[in-house]
């Protein structure tokens, strides 16, 4: 009987840490995913979540400089999908740094899951991969022109013209050129990593469409695969 009691205690002590979620002292759970036991922790300070920790399986990564708004509507998103045409899943975390009327600023982080030797064990470890800045992609590939009547956008050999007169914006309220700074958002669709950047012609509104960037993994980073404008 004594042998069985010792065996039962040994099993209990071994299994309990796996079944019970260990809380990180001083941190809030801000997002969770059932896939691979992924949890995102952060500290709340001055209306923002800061000092993030990513719990992936049974390891923890620190990201002290990440921020996200504390609004439940814009909680961080955890996505675990295959987005680079390989046999492995990638970990994508989308943060919302700010939002408001005519403003949405998101930031995305992509991690490849790699096998690493830690001690005597081989474990899966998320390794962050560089993403080309969508605004830099626009600066390199998109040409624009704004007049009191029309907004013109050129991407390569494709040209778009938007009649802005129906928006009723007076010429003194127009920007000098189309701005792509206020709406930056990310999503995963059809196993593709996508950025959508709104085009704005006035500080009082005047969104005329968005530039859609589809990314691909190439040369050890995520770069633009295609760019198009959607009026």
**Predicted local confidence at residue 67, as pLDDT:** 98
**Predicted local confidence at residue 119, as pLDDT:** 81
Domain map (residue ranges) of the chain: 21-129, 134-230
Residue 9 pLDDT > 60, yes or no?
no
Give residue 17's pLDDT band: very low, low, confident or very high (50, 70, 90): very low
* Nearest-angstrom CA–CA distance, 223 and 213: 9
Dump strand ranges (E) for the chain.
Answer: 28-33, 38-45, 48-56, 59-69, 77-81, 90-100, 103-118, 121-131, 142-146, 150-155, 158-163, 183-189, 192-202, 205-218, 221-230
Give the model confidence (pLDDT) of 34-53 as tens digits.
Answer: 888 899 999 999 999 999 99
Residue 7 pLDDT > 80, yes or no?
no
Give residue 13's pLDDT band: very low, low, confident or very high (50, 70, 90): very low
3-state secondary structure of 154: strand
Residue 190 pLDDT > 50, yes or no?
yes
Give the model confidence (pLDDT) of 114-151 as tens digits.
Answer: 988 888 888 899 999 999 999 999 999 999 999 999 99
**Predicted local confidence at residue 22, as pLDDT:** 61
Q: HSE on the CB side for 80, CA within 13 Å?
A: 13
Determine phi and psi for 200, rounding to 5 degrees: -125, 140
What is the DSSP-derived secondary structure letter of residue 167?
G
């Amino acid at each position: 009987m004594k042998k069985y009691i010792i065996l039962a205690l040994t099993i209990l002590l071994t299994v309990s840490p796996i079944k019970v979620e260990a809380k990180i002292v001083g941190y809030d759970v801000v997002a969770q995913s059932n896939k691979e036991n992924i949890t995102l922790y952060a500290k709340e300070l001055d209306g923002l979540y800061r000092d993030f920790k990513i719990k992936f399986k049974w390891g923890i990564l620190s990201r002290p400089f990440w921020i996200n708004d504390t609004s439940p509507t814009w909680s961080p998103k955890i996505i675990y999908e295959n987005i680079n045409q390989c046999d492995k899943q990638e970990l994508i975390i989308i943060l919302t740094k700010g939002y408001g009327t005519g403003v949405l600023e998101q930031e995305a982080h992509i991690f490849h899951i790699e096998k690493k030797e830690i001690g005597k064990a081989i474990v899966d470890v998320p390794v962050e991969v560089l993403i080309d800045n969508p605004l830099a992609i626009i600066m390199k590939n998109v040409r624009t022109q704004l007049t009191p009547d029309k907004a013109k956008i050129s991407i390569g050999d494709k040209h778009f013209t938007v009649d802005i007169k129906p928006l009723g914006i007076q010429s003194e309220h127009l920007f000098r050129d189309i701005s792509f700074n206020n709406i930056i958002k990310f999503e995963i669709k059809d196993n593709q990593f996508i950025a959508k950047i709104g085009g704005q012609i006035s500080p009082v509104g005047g969104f005329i469409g968005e530039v859609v960037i589809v990314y691909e993994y190439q040369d050890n980073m995520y770069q633009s695969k295609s760019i198009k404008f959607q009026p």
